[in-house]
Structure 1
Amino acid sequence: MINKLHSKTFCSLVKIPEWNYPVEKAEIILCGIPLENTPTIRPGAKFGTFVRLAYIGVESYFPDLDIDVLSDAKVCDLGDIYVPLGDSNLAIKTITKVIKNLKKQNKKAKILVIGGDHTISYPVVKALRPKSVISFDTHLDIHPEWLGVKYTHTSWSRWIKEEFGCELFFVGIGSYEKESWNYIKMNNIPII
């Protein structure tokens, strides 16, 4: 099933070649989601998946753990999900479907995603349905919408709370808007 899914869904411009464990047996499944539909200040979030290039030349053996994270880890790097740009709803449907399919293929694996803008958090949570989510960011991303669009990088945390009942925890918040502050206080959302 993954071969059929992979050929239509993933592009492999950037992957870590050593992380080629079979999807069905992997402990961690890594996929990039280069989504950037609603930038606020400057574009570029779609290039976040290129962080994989930082592994080049990295010494990957940790003697205290006796593990080489590139060759010993049971990781499958699938490359980047092909995400339709310009249509947030279609992008969310695509991401949700791909993550659900990956989880069906390997229920025990941890799925790790690299963005893309924060909008990707909504479909990943929608697919996996965790009980709680910890956000490490300087912003709450809890607006009801952004420029008339409901699901964006500025609103994902509100909708995972309201639609899926996820318990939210925020770490590192550096600035607030009054409406957002009132929302988190009204909903007893902790900020650390």
Structure 2
Amino acid sequence: MFPGTTAERDAADYVVVGAPLDVSTTFQPGTRFGPDEIRKFAEPYDDYDHRTDQFFTELGVADAGDVRAWDDAEAYLTFLSGTLRDVVWDDAVPLLLGGEHTVSYAGVEATDPKTFVCLDAHLDLRTEYDGNEWSHACVTRRVLDVVDEAVVVGARTGSPEEWERAEEEDVTVVPPESVREWLAGFDSDGPVYLSVDIDGADPSVAPGTGTMEPFGLSSTQMRDAVRAVAPACVGFDVVEVNDRDDGQAAALGGKLLREFVYAHAASSGSAPDDGGRADRPGD
């Protein structure tokens, strides 16, 4: 269980669901271990958040466990989407723990957002990868079939075809050096789904992922992005964490999930007034 998830499933405001899919991960597989790694390395975090004056254990978070994965990714995503839609129908926000990035498609289908915001090193705009249109390298392209727009924060690599697709009006790419400017102007006019691909972080921060890409986001940039976007969100995930480091990637993923809950709860009116601190990105 994710530490601090004290609420009953049917009375929760937030529900953690693990999705250990690991069928198309390239270079270094292991995302099947991601949900458990994130839960494990979130254990030492303090319950109290000084910035928002909230206790995680008082924010109505439940852990529904994992949805066991199998090899047919498309069928699994359909089943996972149904599980997450049950969470939405219970008036709760799904918090998905991957697993490879493909699982984000199920989160988007279940929550029906207008905008997909993703922290990611890769554009993931391929139509297919090695003949597989449900590869983790295609997830943003698949998501664009069901949302109005995608914003990829931290992207720094992609094929020529992906960069060409990224030039269309429904895609915005925010490179790492432009994150501060983007955060300062962030304003969503519709529901958002926020996905954190842990490889958006620089490998020096989170080496436990399948396809590391240097020159990435700092943990502070990722935290500030999560804090800024969370109030507009109907769903959230952390994906692409594996077990090939000493817990750095999992620790960051677990911390970002907690930051999401603190920021979302503070903005919803269910938490004490923080004097506007939740809307002010850090340095």
TM-score grouping bracket, smaller chain normalisation:
0.7 to 0.9
Question: What is the match of residue 81 of structure 2?
Answer: 96
Question: Shift in Å at residue 64 of structure 1?
Answer: 4.6
Cα offsets for 1:97-146 (capped at 9, x unmatched): 21122222x12x21110100000011211121110010101101110012
Query: SS where residue 137 of structure 2 aligns?
Result: coil
Structure 2 runs not aligned, ≥5 long: 175-283
Query: SS where residue 95 of structure 1 aligns?
Result: helix
Structure 1 runs not aligned, ≥5 long: 1-14
- 1:82-161 equivalence runs, <5 A: 82-84=68-70, 86-104=71-89, 106-107=90-91, 109-161=92-144
State the TM-score, normalized to the length of structure 2.
0.58
Question: Shift in Å at residue 59 of structure 1?
Answer: 2.3
- 1:1-192 equivalence runs, <5 A: 15-16=1-2, 18-49=4-35, 50-69=37-56, 71-84=57-70, 86-104=71-89, 106-107=90-91, 109-161=92-144, 163-192=145-174
Structure 1 moving runs of 4+ over 6 Å = none
1:148 partner letter: G
Query: SS where residue 186 of structure 1 aligns?
Result: coil
Query: SS where residue 191 of structure 1 aligns?
Result: strand
Cα offsets for 1:128-170 (capped at 9, x unmatched): 1110010101101110012222112111111111x21331001
Return 140-149 or 58-67, whichever deviates more.
58-67
Cα offsets for 1:9-64 (capped at 9, x unmatched): xxxxxx13641312232111111111111021111111111211112232222345
Query: SS where residue 172 of structure 2 aligns?
Result: coil
Question: Shift in Å at residue 90 of structure 1?
Answer: 1.8
Partners in 1 of 2:84 and 2:13 — Cα distance?
Answer: 15
Query: SS where residue 36 of structure 1 aligns?
Result: coil
Partners in 2 of 1:121 and 1:134 — Cα distance?
Answer: 11
Query: SS where residue 97 of structure 1 aligns?
Result: helix
Question: Shift in Å at residue 80 of structure 1?
Answer: 1.1
Kindly tell me the number of residue pairs found equivalent between the two proteins. Answer: 173
State the percentage of identical aligned residues.
Answer: 25
* Equivalent residues of 1:122, 1:151 under 8 A apart: no
